[in-house]
Amino acid sequence: MGSSGKLREVREYEEKMGAKIPMEKRPAFHLSSRIGWMNDPNGFSFYQGQYHLFYQYYPYNTVWGPCYWGHAVSKDLIHWEYLPAALAPDEEYDKDGCFSGSAIELEDGRQMLIYTGVVKKEMEDGSIRDLQQQCLAFGDGLNYRKYENNPVLTFQDLPKGCSPYDFRDPKIWQEEDGTYRIVTCCATPGRDAKIVLFQSKDGIHWENGRQMIQNFDRFGKVWECPDFFQIDGKWVLLTSPMDMLPEGFEYHNGNGTLCLIGEFDEESGMFTPQHDQAIDYGIDFYATQTLRTPDGRRIMIAWMQNWDTTPGYRLEPTSWFGQMTIPRELSVRNGRLYQWPVKELEQIRRNRVSYENVYVNGEMELDGIRGRCVDMQIEVRSADPEHPYEKFVIRFAAGGRYYTMLSYHPRDCIMKIDRKFSGSRRAIIHQRRAEVPSRDGSVKIRLILDRYSAEAFINEGEQTITANLYTDMGAQRITFNALGAVSMNIVKYDLI
């Protein structure tokens, strides 16, 4: 089918089919796919007065397929409005997928998308590999036209030792001097990750591909969806490595996430990490992307899902699959990455309920503390410092046979999420542990619930734990349980 035909067809399809999904069968304030499948956030940017969020999209099924770019806009990062799909895989150079990429406003006022065009190639041994090249499209925030000279970056532009089959996910930004940069992921033919940096005067003609960093087998294999920026005086590289090996309490997700904090040498283009950590310690989190807001905040969003837990997870018939996390403001403190829900979320808080110095020893429930769309902050400490408590548990989305829980063991400094009883009928991973240091058992948890997900921000966002849950909506209870004596403060809001 000709280029515009495929896009016209998908736009009609998503409008008709997306409208059939009742609002209450979607997350209330997290972006979900309009129809069909969603993975990575793409083109997360601010353009002409609103935030744009594109996403990897296969509208015709709830499993991954040759990718389109879905599109949504928001004035406040919380209320999203769907726009028609932006890109379809309809050209020779992207016929097998418009893979991940990013967006920027050019000097002439146009919005430019830079993405990876994928073409399947048969190898000599009969196997099929994805040839990956970087492509452009220009638009007005609604309609986009692919650049007539695509692709703008091919395998030939890569430094020596890079494979043409793992060259993707360009993330663009503009420097203060007006020039543009992208980082892309690349790999050796043996799949050892590299990040390559390119520069451009106009955003269209790219040159000087330089290797910023190579993995040398330290963090997984190929790294996907890189992002690179400066914050609080440090340079931060975020990426999502495939096939990770766990290290202590880090990197338990197979397809995991990695934050490297360090120094960048402009001259040589080399990045030297001084600190590494997982970005999130939960189950469903991958493929981050950030933007800078007009007021200077660095905001990150991610696919609230993980490749390892997608297959066959949801059993009930549904016509959408995939959600984004809540947008999170980033900072670097004491050499670590911190995350906090964007302050815009506070605008949808209603019905404040608060309690102070509640004594918990055994199980209890509190009047007014329940619900599935909730913003709740809990401060926990030992009621008697002489006798520290052993365990503190919050159960949520609880009712009938169901609950999901967060538990904290101060002696081992372990925070755990467990969604085994969330209603899943699949033997996929349902638990994850994070190391949360505490000297005396004091810990602060901010828990954001939205129908099908839970995001916990621990100790001002020093760790985050993200998981989705497809528990029956009748399960609305929240309970607290302590082994030993705990004193807690709670502030809870409904999110409406």
Strand order from edge to edge, sheet including 206-214: 168-174, 180-187, 193-200, 206-214
CB of 458 to ligand FRU, least distance (A): 26
Q: Name the burial class of residue 77, with classes exposed (0-12), middle (13-18) and buried (19+) by CB atoms within 10 angstroms of its CB.
A: buried
CA–CA gap between residue 337 and residue 316 (Å, rounded):
37
CB of 242 to ligand FRU, least distance (A): 8
* Amino acid at position 467, single letter: A
Please indicate whether residue 40 is annotated as part of the active site.
Answer: yes
Q: Select from 31, 60, 21 the least CA-distant residue to 323.
A: 31
CB of 438 to ligand FRU, least distance (A): 34
Taking CB under 6 A as the criterion, the residue among 47, 99, 219, 264 binding ligand FRU is: 99
Choice between 45 and 134, CB closer to ligand FRU: 134
50, two tokens: 């609103």
Q: Beta strand pairing status for 391-399 and 477-495?
A: antiparallel
Site residues (CB under 6 A) for ligand FRU, limited to 350-409 = none
Neighbours of 300 (CB within 10 A): 24
Choice between 186 and 369, CB closer to ligand FRU: 186
Matching residue, tokens 């967060």: 406
Non-local CB neighbours of 1 within 8 Å, separated by 6+ positions: 9, 90
CA–CA gap between residue 318 and residue 402 (Å, rounded):
20
88 binds ligand FRU (CB under 6 A): no
100 binds ligand FRU (CB under 6 A): yes
x/- track of binding to ligand FRU for residues 63-82 (CB under 6 A) = ----x---------------
CA–CA gap between residue 111 and residue 43 (Å, rounded):
10
Non-local CB neighbours of 485 within 8 Å, separated by 6+ positions: 359, 360, 361, 382, 383, 384, 387, 389
Please tell me the count of residues contacting ligand FRU according to CB under 6 A.
13
In this structure, are residues 375 and 345 in contact, taking their beta carbons and an 8 Å threshold? yes
Taking CB under 6 A as the criterion, the residue among 32, 45, 62, 116 binding ligand FRU is: 116
Choice between 37 and 403, CB closer to ligand FRU: 37
Q: Name the burial class of residue 232, with classes exposed (0-12), middle (13-18) and buried (19+) by CB atoms within 10 angstroms of its CB.
A: middle
x/- track of binding to ligand FRU for residues 129-168 (CB under 6 A) = ---------------------------------------x
Choice between 99 and 338, CB closer to ligand FRU: 99
Site residues (CB under 6 A) for ligand FRU, limited to 6-45 = 39-40
346, two tokens: 């506070």
CB of 344 to ligand FRU, least distance (A): 26
Taking CB under 6 A as the criterion, the residue among 157, 169, 375, 455 binding ligand FRU is: 169
Choice between 237 and 394, CB closer to ligand FRU: 237
CB of 286 to ligand FRU, least distance (A): 6
CB of 307 to ligand FRU, least distance (A): 7
494 binds ligand FRU (CB under 6 A): no
Q: What angle do CA 424, 36, 18 make, to 5 degrees?
A: 115
Q: Select from 377, 370, 374, 385 the least CA-distant residue to 356.
A: 377
Choice between 94 and 224, CB closer to ligand FRU: 224
| Burial readout 389-399 (b: 16 or more C-beta within 10 A, e: otherwise) | bbbbbbbbbbe
Choice between 39 and 277, CB closer to ligand FRU: 39
56 binds ligand FRU (CB under 6 A): yes
CA–CA gap between residue 130 and residue 114 (Å, rounded):
18
Q: Select from 401, 395, 400, 496 the least CA-distant residue to 451.
A: 496
* Amino acid at position 66, single letter: P
CB of 356 to ligand FRU, least distance (A): 44
Choice between 39 and 163, CB closer to ligand FRU: 39
250 binds ligand FRU (CB under 6 A): no
Taking CB under 6 A as the criterion, the residue among 157, 224, 329, 494 binding ligand FRU is: 224
225 binds ligand FRU (CB under 6 A): yes
CB of 434 to ligand FRU, least distance (A): 22
The residue ranges that bind ligand FRU (CB under 6 A) are 39-40, 56, 67, 99-100, 116, 168-169, 224-225, 286-287
Q: Which residues are catalytic?
A: 40
